[in-house]
Structure 1
Amino acid sequence: MLIADPAFYEAGVATVEEPYLSRTDELPAADPLGQAVQEQLAVGATAALTPTGYLRAGDAAAARAAAREVAAREDPRIVLALPIDVGWLRSDLVGRLIEELVAAPDLKAVMLGGQLDPLAGFPEALTGLARILARIPGTTLLRTDLAAFGALARGAVFAGYGLSSRLRHIVPPGEPAKRSGFTTSPAVLFPELMALFLGKTLARRFAATHAPVCECAACGRRLLDSFPSNRDVRPAARHNTAVLMSWHRTLQALTTGPDRHRWWQNRCRAAVDRYPLVNAAIQQPNGFHVPPQLLRWSLLGPAPSAPAGAGVD
């Protein structure tokens, strides 16, 4: 499946009157949904994402309006884009979102909005995402990071791991993007720790000891601390992609359901347990910190199951 994301949600908020947006550099279209679908299919997309505006947490009316308009089209090529604020995943709101979307036809593409790592923002976020994946048929997860594999392990139709930090979440419209600081170093995936670290951070941490050797399809045999500057962006990206694809092949070889969930949780637990061992090896007790999202994946219980004939909580 080939999908192009118009990402209109980056510029505006969905409302009950206008759940779908037009391009900001053009006059508002009379039928923004129809125009966006036509444009995407015309350039070769096999399915079209709706031009949904950003869905503020708690605005059930806007979510309902977007779902109803897609249902009225009765076109299986349309994927309902759901750029939701991460606040929707709180325990007091996620049930309302499920109620609005459970009957929406065909595929739904969830994208999370918030600063930095939205799923690390509050403890309920990952549980809320798991409820959505379990209750809403046809759910996918786009513009994300580690959660792409967690979503696939819990039944997502497909998922997208963002190539850069900008593509791993949505910054809410009108808010400046928060950054952890200016960097001149690429993000490098440390497979054993299941997390991205700056190449220069890895070089510093392993300066006084031997760095792990990566044997992925892209690296062959390359030290993990050998991506220190932006000159290494492309090799780092190839490394990241090769590692991610190896995980994906392993996951795809497992039967959908409990087998995938167990594999993912066991992998996350093994990574969490690895952090103190790596820190001890480099003699830096606080060298690497377990990312909150990784820890929560390692602790998340089995996927909830809905009673027969029921779709919502």
Structure 2
Amino acid sequence: MGKRPRGGAVAVLADRVFAHARPSDASDLAALMGTEGGLVLTGANPVRAARRCREEQAFDGPILFDVAAAEGKVATRERPFDESGDQLVELTLEERVQGQIDAGADAALTPTRYLRAGDFGAVEAAIEGAVGLGRDDVILSLPMDVGWLATGLIDKTIGVLAQASIPKAVMLGGRRNPPQRVMDGAFGLRRLVAEVPDVALFRTDLAGLDALAQGCLAASIGTSGALRHVVPPGEAVAYGSANGDDRSPSVLVPDLLSYVRGGVLADRFGDRPAPPCRCVRCGGRSVAGFLRQEDWKDARLHGVAVWTEWARNLLYPDSLEGRRRYWRRLCRDAIAAHARYNTSVRAREPVFVPPDSLWIWAGEDTPLPARRNSRVP
């Protein structure tokens, strides 16, 4: 699989939304993405999957490999990178980077370990190591705990990352459930992608589209919940739902601009017809029709088919303000759609509730619901 010159890692990333996926989905995704998208493959046999995309699907978009070093080890100043991988003998950072390029990647992601909030020594060591390679085809992977975006850390975080003269891919990890932490994270992330040059947001959800609307270099959206954030070392991957019996997949509902579990959708609509999905994968399939284990792959591909259309529309305007207007309008329409869905199911109390992040993305002039203790400043 030959390497195609693209003018360095910045050119590989610029104005693209990648699907962050397992190799088993790669061929199907290549058919959906088009040349304006790209793939970030993580898991077993990514090289073989990438080769199939090139040779069988004639996929011409960029392909990257995420070695997911952060899932197993914490970075320190002395050892910011995982230089072992699946090898019995340790490899140098240069060898691990070159190995990705030799395997057909259009740029190499550094094998950075998990960066705990506040450990600036580890971040600085990672920057020094990546910049020290002196290559233009390397992206500094930054798997950072979401705590880096907190009010007390964000200014210094931005200052340190802004000094790194190399493209960077931030991947957030940890739990963001408390409302105040969600808000701190959303506003901190907006500042980071707007103020740090050549930064991308990887392993994320629809926050990647918001980041692009704020001037981010690129984004990668995970095809499943496990690939939409980094799982900190020592923490188990969360599968299923609050209801342990619900094994249905998470479904991107186009009208709501939100992921909702299939079983939850089916329960809320009951015997009333749910809206059909008109994406290129579904062809009118009910959004509440993803219920079984065998529907998981369909749900993943459906999600990519939906957000790739949004990404194309978002990136179409030449100006950043044009992109922001499109994104705000899309988010505001989604908030209104939540109310319509509640009416359609005749809910006495709202069962479709816009997530706080959606209110923030819709614009700072849009107030959060009064039921929330946190407010948009």
What TM-score comes out, normalization by structure 1 length? 0.89
Q: CA deviation at 1:296?
A: 2.2
Residue 188 in structure 1 maps to residue 251 in structure 2: yes
Partner of 1:306: none
Give the 5 Å matches for 1:253-268. 253-268=316-331
**Counterpart pick for 2:263 among 188, 195, 200:** 200
Q: Is the 8 A contact 2:151 2:184 kept in 1?
A: yes
Aligned pair in 2 of structure 1 residues 156, 119: CA closer, same or farther (>3 Å)?
Answer: farther
SS in 2 for 1:188: strand
Residue 295 in structure 1 maps to residue 359 in structure 2: yes
Could you list the runs of 5+ residues in structure 1 that have no partner in the other structure?
302-313
Give the 5 Å matches for 1:41-60. 41-60=101-120
Q: Is the 8 A contact 1:188 1:198 kept in 2?
A: yes
Q: Percent identity?
A: 39
Partner of 1:310: none
**Counterpart pick for 1:165 among 225, 231, 237:** 225
Partner of 1:114: 174
Q: CA deviation at 1:170?
A: 0.8
Partner of 1:309: none
Partner of 2:37: none
SS in 2 for 1:109: strand
Residue 5 in structure 1 maps to residue 69 in structure 2: no
Count of aligned pairs between the two proteins: 300
SS in 1 for 2:143: strand
Residue 38 in structure 1 maps to residue 98 in structure 2: yes
Aligned pair in 2 of structure 1 residues 120, 298: CA closer, same or farther (>3 Å)?
Answer: farther
Q: CA deviation at 1:268?
A: 1.1
Could you list the runs of 5+ residues in structure 2 that have no partner in the other structure?
1-61, 366-377
Q: CA deviation at 1:300?
A: 4.2
Q: CA–CA distance in 1 between the matches of 2:287 and 2:184?
A: 34
Partner of 1:243: 306
Q: Is the 8 A contact 1:139 1:157 kept in 2?
A: yes
Q: Which amino acid aligns with 1:200?
A: G
User: What is the CA deviation profile of residues 223-246 of structure 1, one whole-angstrom value per residue up to 9, with x for unaligned ones?
Assistant: 222222222223323322211111
Q: Is the 8 A contact 2:224 2:300 kept in 1?
A: no
Q: Which amino acid aligns with 2:122?
A: A
Q: CA–CA distance in 1 between the matches of 2:182 and 2:355?
A: 13
Q: Which moved more, 1:203-212 or 1:37-46?
A: 203-212
Partner of 2:202: 142
Q: CA deviation at 1:199?
A: 1.6
**Counterpart pick for 2:157 among 54, 75, 97:** 97
SS in 2 for 1:222: coil
Q: Is the 8 A contact 1:90 1:125 kept in 2?
A: yes
Q: Is the 8 A contact 1:86 1:118 kept in 2?
A: no
Q: Is the 8 A contact 2:150 2:181 kept in 1?
A: no
**Counterpart pick for 1:18 among 68, 74, 79:** 79
Q: Which amino acid aligns with 2:329?
A: N
What TM-score comes out, normalization by structure 2 length? 0.75
Q: Which moved more, 1:179-188 or 1:150-159?
A: 179-188
Q: CA deviation at 1:28?
A: 6.5
Q: CA deviation at 1:173?
A: 0.9
Q: CA deviation at 1:292?
A: 2.4
Q: Which amino acid aligns with 1:29?
A: E
Q: CA deviation at 1:200?
A: 2.0
Q: CA deviation at 1:30?
A: 5.9
Q: CA–CA distance in 2 between the matches of 1:146 and 1:26?
A: 35
**Counterpart pick for 1:275 among 313, 316, 338:** 338
SS in 2 for 1:214: coil
**Counterpart pick for 2:143 among 54, 78, 83:** 83
Report the aligned-residue RMSD: 2.1
Q: CA deviation at 1:222?
A: 2.2
Aligned pair in 2 of structure 1 residues 38, 118: CA closer, same or farther (>3 Å)?
Answer: farther
Aligned pair in 2 of structure 1 residues 82, 256: CA closer, same or farther (>3 Å)?
Answer: farther
